[in-house]
Chain A
Amino acid sequence: MNTHHNIVRRTAATASLLLAVGAVSTFPAAAQGGGGGIQHRGSCSHSSDWKLSAKGDDGRIEVEGEVDSNVSGQTWTWRILHNGSTSAHGTATTGGASGSFTVRRLLVNTAGVDSIGWRATNAASGETCVGGLRF
């Protein structure tokens, strides 16, 4: 009986791990940020990288989305999704030596788990960056 129970536990743990990996496959690289924040990063459809971080702030979630293309002067349209709906959107231009742009917005921390999505599209090349996290 004990052996059978151990097998069941291992199977459940493995299934959970696979589900977690499946989830992370959508959000390629996840890391716990400082101060209780969450940070995910990944690659866009061409050569650019994206980063999405979130941390709590007095009942709200401070969300920071970033695209790093290494090319300065590119125009990107971006969108922050909150539980599947567009919470904020806009246009940004990469700049600086790293050729990147960053967007910060406050979202209301609703009851339960908040799903936060980050989407950016290069207006010229059509390159797309898509990421997300749960908070």
Chain B
Amino acid sequence: MAPSRRQQRPRTVGAAASPRRGRWTHPVVLFVAAGIAAITVLLIVLSWFSRQAATGEAILDSRSVTSVIAHSVAEPAIPPGLATGNAAAVDRFDRTTLNRLLVDQIVRIKIWNADGRIIYSDKVQLIGERFSLHEEELEILQHGGTAAEVSNLQAPENRFERGFGKLLEVYTQVRDPAGRPLLFEAYFPYSHVTQRSDEIASEFRPITVAGLLVFLILTTPLVWVLARRLDRSAADRERLLMAAVEASDVERRRISRDLHDGVVQELAAVSFTLSATGRQIHDQPVISSSLDESGAAVRRSLRALRSLLVEIYPPDLRRQGLAAALEDLLAPASNAGVEVDLDVSDTSVVSPECTALVWRAAQEGVRNAVRHGRPSRIFVQVTTSGDDVRLVVRDDGQGFDPAAEPPYGHLGLRSLRDLVEETGGSLEVTSAPNRGTTLEVRLACR
């Protein structure tokens, strides 16, 4: 006769057949969010670099403007005598060039001779004053070229420019009619550089943004397809796992039924027969004793076989209850001299699927503890909190090194982990050599 317990199939906990995934943890959403974040960071970095490049470009523009004005406006108009401070020459230069020099946001012009004397400036109070030229300015004055730098407004020669705010001064070499080198200096508001820099950078920004967005738009469908493929693959894997578990259950059920209906019944009959026969031939004490011992041996084998039946075929958890089933599970260990401690809170509200998975996990934990740990004590605890169920199987056995390669045959724990994680739960094994082992399973049983 088949066992009366009904098999509890450890199906996926809850309604979802695939791993539970929130709307915001969908791979495509994550990819798009990561893409947008990456684009934002990239834009900030690119913006900084492009701003640097644009600033350099804007300064180059100012240098070009200065060079053009110096060589096409100022130099041809320099009259003889300007370099020596002739007042009439200064007048003529001022009248003929002033309006053509203060263009393109130039706010100040200064022309220096090699002695460091300002021989002309639109700020005429500076004309005739003498200051020391810096090394770079002397280099330009003597050997030509163009250079630019932010003005030092604290310098006395720049005292009239303080009201303009930050300035960029650009200087280049010009020559008077006698061929004497002079230093032509033009001052630009730095805001002009910043503005020009913005203009240049803004020309490239849309191209950069559009390029990155197009990349994101093009790759998103690919990620979506890949995510779908992964989902299907995960679902297939889960189905295969469930099929394997189910096949295993069917096989266990068949073996259990065969053993129960066949061998167990036969052994029980043999045991009764031996005992009855032994009692009937009390006039032959040797044979009677031998038959009694044989009957006892058969009964021991029968108990062992029943324990094995419990192990290979799960009990009817719905009818029997999880606590009683766990007691049965621990009974062989208790019989073997292991001190067992079971603590199960009320699991009546936990779904049958979830209860089956808890039992299966406990079975794996207890089995491993007995087989590999050689413990003196096993503690099993099941607690519930709302939808969450927590199972702890702890032993004080010899433990193992979790970092080491698991020994061959530890597929049960691996399969259990897969099963638990497929349902959105977690499984953790904590152990250390000679420090026992703790198996902790958390399930969200909706």
Binding site for B on A (CB under 8 A): 59-60, 81-83, 85-88, 105-111, 114
Instruction: Check if B2 is an interface residue, CB within 8 A of chain A.
Output: no
Top 8 A-B pairs ranked by shortest CB distance? Answer: A85-B88, A59-B124, A87-B88, A87-B91, A83-B87, A82-B87, A82-B88, A108-B90
Q: List B contacts of A114 (CB < 8 A).
A: 87
In the bound complex, do residue B86 and residue A85 qualify as a contact, i.e. CB atoms below 8 Å apart? yes
* Nearest neighbor of B91 in chain A, beta-carbon distance: A87
- Most A C-beta atoms less than 10 A away, residue of B87, B90, B92, B127: B87
- A-B contacts, 7 of them at CB < 8 A, read A83-B88, A86-B88, A87-B92, A88-B95, A106-B91, A108-B124, A110-B87
8 A Cβ contacts from B78-135 to A = 81, 86-92, 94-95, 123-125, 127-128
In the bound complex, do residue B91 and residue A109 qualify as a contact, i.e. CB atoms below 8 Å apart? no
In the bound complex, do residue B128 and residue A85 qualify as a contact, i.e. CB atoms below 8 Å apart? no
Q: A81-B88, A108-B94, A111-B128 are in contact. List 11 more A-B contacts (CB 8 A).
A: A59-B123, A82-B91, A83-B88, A85-B88, A88-B95, A105-B91, A105-B95, A106-B91, A108-B90, A110-B90, A110-B128
In the bound complex, do residue B91 and residue A59 qualify as a contact, i.e. CB atoms below 8 Å apart? no
Supposing A85-B81, A87-B92 touch, asked if A107 and B87 sit within 8 A by C-beta, the answer is: yes
Q: Report how far A82 CA is from B127 CA in the complex, Å.
A: 15
Binding site for A on B (CB under 8 A): 81, 86-92, 94-95, 123-125, 127-128
In the bound complex, do residue A88 and residue B92 qualify as a contact, i.e. CB atoms below 8 Å apart? yes
The one of A60, A86, A88 in contact with B124, judged by C-beta atoms closer than 8 angstroms, is A60
Q: List A contacts of B94 (CB < 8 A).
A: 60, 106, 108
In the bound complex, do residue A110 and residue B127 qualify as a contact, i.e. CB atoms below 8 Å apart? yes
Query: Closest CB-CB distance, B249 to chain A, in whole Å?
Result: 104
- Most B C-beta atoms less than 10 A away, residue of A59, A81, A114: A59
In the bound complex, do residue A106 and residue B125 qualify as a contact, i.e. CB atoms below 8 Å apart? no
| Interface of chain A: mostly helix, strand, loop or mixed | strand
Q: List A contacts of B90 (CB < 8 A).
A: 108, 110
- Most B C-beta atoms less than 10 A away, residue of A83, A87, A114: A87
Q: Report how far A83 CA is from B88 CA in the complex, Å.
A: 7
Q: List A contacts of B89 (CB < 8 A).
A: 85
In the bound complex, do residue A108 and residue B127 qualify as a contact, i.e. CB atoms below 8 Å apart? yes
In the bound complex, do residue B87 and residue A85 qualify as a contact, i.e. CB atoms below 8 Å apart? yes
Q: List A contacts of B123 (CB < 8 A).
A: 59
Q: Report how far A82 CA is from B88 CA in the complex, Å.
A: 5
* Nearest neighbor of A60 in chain B, beta-carbon distance: B124
Q: Report how far A111 CA is from B117 CA in the complex, Å.
A: 14
Q: Report how far A26 CA is from B127 CA in the complex, Å.
A: 29
The one of A105, A106, A108 in contact with B87, judged by C-beta atoms closer than 8 angstroms, is A108
Q: Report how far A82 CA is from B124 CA in the complex, Å.
A: 15
In the bound complex, do residue B87 and residue A88 qualify as a contact, i.e. CB atoms below 8 Å apart? no
In the bound complex, do residue A111 and residue B81 qualify as a contact, i.e. CB atoms below 8 Å apart? no
Q: List A contacts of B95 (CB < 8 A).
A: 88, 105-106
Q: List B contacts of A107 (CB < 8 A).
A: 87, 91
Q: Report how far A105 CA is from B125 CA in the complex, Å.
A: 19
Q: Report how far A59 CA is from B87 CA in the complex, Å.
A: 13
Query: Closest CB-CB distance, B95 to chain A, in whole Å?
Result: 6
In the bound complex, do residue B87 and residue A87 qualify as a contact, i.e. CB atoms below 8 Å apart? yes
Q: Report how far A108 CA is from B128 CA in the complex, Å.
A: 12
* Nearest neighbor of B123 in chain A, beta-carbon distance: A59
Q: Report how far A84 CA is from B90 CA in the complex, Å.
A: 13
Query: Closest CB-CB distance, A80 to chain B, in whole Å?
Result: 8
* Nearest neighbor of B85 in chain A, beta-carbon distance: A110
Query: Closest CB-CB distance, B200 to chain A, in whole Å?
Result: 36
Q: List B contacts of A110 (CB < 8 A).
A: 87, 90, 124, 127-128
Q: Report how far A110 CA is from B91 CA in the complex, Å.
A: 10
Query: Closest CB-CB distance, B147 to chain A, in whole Å?
Result: 28
Q: List B contacts of A109 (CB < 8 A).
A: 124
Q: Report how far A60 CA is from B125 CA in the complex, Å.
A: 9
* Nearest neighbor of B90 in chain A, beta-carbon distance: A108
Query: Closest CB-CB distance, B129 to chain A, in whole Å?
Result: 8
Q: List B contacts of A105 (CB < 8 A).
A: 91, 95
Q: Report how far A88 CA is from B95 CA in the complex, Å.
A: 10
Q: Report how far A87 CA is from B81 CA in the complex, Å.
A: 11
- Most B C-beta atoms less than 10 A away, residue of A106, A110, A114: A110
